[in-house]
Amino acid sequence: MPLVDPAIATLLDAAAEEFQRELYIRYDPISIPHGFDDPRDQEIIGLFAAILAWGRRDTMLRKLEELCDRMSYRPARFVSDFRPGSHGAALSGFKHRTFQTIDALHLCNNLGIIVRREGSLESLISPSLAASLRDIGPAIETLSTSILTAAPETPHRLRKHLARPSTGGACKRLSMYFRWMARPGPFDLGAWTKVDPSLLVLPLDVHSARQARRFGLLSAAANNWKSALALTKTCRTLRAHDPCVYDFALFGLGAYDVPEELAAMIPPAFATEPTSL
């Protein structure tokens, strides 16, 4: 596990404070679940927002707003009541990049089966959390596997939208979803009370991975689940109770215009960004 340069630790703390301000919510897919007050709505539309969080942000946010409209702005009720024969028409023609109408139909159907049986997605994953003292990997595995197997007619294609640690992928969107749901606000939602933020895993996307390597927090070349765990372990040396606070720092430093005061904090040895992952 790499040691964190003290100057970099100071930079990351400052960047985390900057980029988790409410100002940035409007640019983020978390703005969609923030539009709902009921935690039951937040956990359902939040999952859709996380799954669809790729591509141009303006396009993605428009598609999520369209989905909310199709759900009559009651996503928890829409999913709980969902039956393909009577509710499928509301989703007809919906798509975002590779997420097609068929994916929306089966995801809603399977979520409905789970919510009617378990009461909520948090209740579904709670036993997996109780069994793990290390990280949310088992809970992500439970969530994805449960959705994928809730109905026998679920198409294989839905797997590409629901990552699992057992397949080795970074699970960045679901790690982000868990961060949204478990961490307290004002940026995150804090809608789940049974997930200890210390168990969260940093979402390892192209921006955070590049910055993590830039600042010596991650040495592995691959962006996979193993690397996500390694980066999280390093961040726990800085804040054991809340490692995912550094997701704001790493993503923000890579994705947004960096304020001058933050840029001035970057030590000369780390000033040049890597040209590749």
Domain count within the chain = 1
d(CA 236, CA 244): 9
CB contact at 8 A, 252 and 15: yes
Q: Please tell me the total number of residues recorded for the chain in this structure.
A: 277
Query: 169: which strand partners?
Result: 224
> Which pLDDT does position 274 carry in this prediction?
65
> Residue 37 falls within a domain, yes or no?
yes
- Specify if 15 maps to a domain: yes
Which residues does the chain have with pLDDT short of 70?
A: 1, 131-132, 274-277
**Half-sphere exposure of residue 138: CA atoms within 13 angstroms, side-chain side:** 14
* Inside any domain, residue 162: yes
pLDDT of residue 231: 98
* Widest pairwise Cα distance in the chain: 61
Say if CB 70 and CB 200 are below 8 A apart: no
User: Is 275 inside a domain boundary?
Assistant: no
In sequence order, the 6+-apart residues with CB closer than 8 A to the CB of 231 are 202, 204, 208, 209, 212, 217, 218
Q: Does residue 277 lie within any of the structural domains?
A: no
CA distance 74 to 78: 6
Q: What is the pTM of this model?
A: 0.95
Instruction: Render pLDDT for 81-110 as a digit per residue (tens, 0 to 9).
Output: 999 988 999 999 999 999 999 999 999 999
Q: Residue 123: which domain range?
A: 6-270
Q: What is the pLDDT of residues 191-217, one digit of tens each?
A: 999 999 999 999 999 999 999 999 999
**Which residue has 């409410």 as its token pair?**
22
Is residue 276 included in any domain, yes or no?
A: no
Distance CA 149, CA 158 (A): 10
